[in-house]
A and B are shown apart, each in its own frame.
Chain A
């Protein structure tokens, strides 16, 4: 019973960790995107 709960907890944690990494990757991509957009807009593009 305890082992099953532990497995289910680790599965929840794994899903959460994966989701957090995905959000981190999206935020970094967004920052890079906004950086280049700002550079282009400031240079009159």
Chain B
């Protein structure tokens, strides 16, 4: 009898541990992190030069942890509005699974850890850029802009655009026109990506007083802005081919994907309000695919020499 109850206790304890681990992982916003890691890795591969494969892995790990840490601090700060919005009320803090102070401590410790480790293991330029990205996301986007201006996503989007620049700096030790071009791709992509989401979540943002563009300027103005940004993104996304650190294959795919993205924006613009935002939901999904395909092509097409330099055995 006592053995059985002990086993049941152990099983429930293990399950509880797994759930707690899942809560802490959720604080790191793993879905956002996957895109951040992928674009950081692409910047690392596309950069000219060599880096030991283990240090490259450490750099990617630091980018992932730094991004996750910023997400945890963001969840701590936004816990009041997260509890109200349907999209975010399942997060660990509103559900009472993690104490706000624990989430803050978790985020701050991981942020410091990732920045310091990147500096010691790789270089201090990459480390400084990671620190800038985390600070920008927390103080400029989360604390300053998000609840004050409909341009929150435009300016705040810069935080999410840093990862490929950090990956590039990990290899080259500096910032160049090429890495700024990679930064600009994500910077121009973020507004139409996020506004597509905010079109069908406008009611929730309005309820919590976040001045997203559809809430403040209206749906029609938001749709026009989305089209303008996708048009501006089209030439920016071709920059890697124009600067010569990606080939024609990348350029062709970037052009095709860019035209499809513009097509999505036109579809959103033409869709009536009664259609239930189907086009906006499609555009949001496509925008994620767009960025993944673009950076996957950058990895494939930016030159095999870069890949060889980071693989095991590429350099001792």
Contact = CB atoms under 8 A, between A and B. Distances in A.
Interface of A: 14-15, 18-19, 22, 30, 33-34, 36-37, 40-41, 43, 45
Contacts, number: 33
Given A37-B55, A37-B120, A40-B52, A45 B16 contact: no
Contact of A22 (B13, B21, B55): B21
A43 to B, nearest CB: 7
Nearest to B24: A22
Given A14-B13, A15-B20, A41 B315 contact: no
Nearest to A18: B17
Contact of A14 (B16, B54, B117): B16
Contacts of B54: 36-37, 40, 45
A43 B121 contact: no
Chain B contact residues, majority secondary structure: helix
A45 B316 CA distance: 6
Interface of B: 13, 16-17, 20-21, 52, 54-55, 58, 113, 117, 120-121, 315-316
A41 B16 CA distance: 40
A22 B109 CA distance: 14
Chain A contact residues, majority secondary structure: helix
B117 A33 contact: yes
B8 to A, nearest CB: 14
Contact of A41 (B21, B121, B316): B121
A18 B13 CA distance: 9
B55 A45 contact: yes
A4 to B, nearest CB: 16
Contacts of B117: 30, 33-34
Contacts of B315: 45
Q: Which 3 A-B pairs have the closest CB atoms?
A: A45-B52, A37-B121, A18-B17
Given A30-B117, A37-B55, 4 more contacts: A18-B16, A33-B58, A36-B54, A37-B58
A31 to B, nearest CB: 12
Nearest to A45: B52
A18 B14 CA distance: 9
